[in-house]
Amino acid sequence: MTTLTIKLPDKLAQEARAAGLLDHDAIETMLRENLRRRGVGELFQAMDCMAAVDTLPVMSPEEIHEEIRRMRAERRSQNAR
């Protein structure tokens, strides 16, 4: 378990304490919810970026085979060192 010390303006600390928000369970809940929201936000941001990219051309079976051949040759040369 980690112990944190935070500095808050007095008025904010008083309001948060009165609302029960400085309790360790309340802080844990707020942090978990914020992390979840950020994760969801990052997911949607990534989806937006992917949607903005023009569709990549489809590789032919021959191109896929050549790419695999090159990757295997590169891997073999690296393992031989």
- Rounded to whole angstroms, what are the CA distances from 69 to 6, 13, 35, 61, 72? 56, 63, 42, 12, 5
Q: What is the pLDDT along the chain (81 residues), one digit of tens a residue?
A: 889 899 999 999 999 999 999 999 999 999 999 999 999 999 999 999 888 887 777 889 999 999 999 999 999 998 887
Q: In the 8-state DSSP scheme, what is residue 53?
A: S
The confidence score (pLDDT) of residue 10 equals: 96
* CA–CA distance, 21 with 23 (Å, rounded to integer): 6
Amino acid, res. 14: Q
The confidence score (pLDDT) of residue 54 equals: 76
Q: Where are the domains of the chain?
A: 10-79
The confidence score (pLDDT) of residue 57 equals: 75
Cβ(32)–Cβ(39) below 8 Å: no
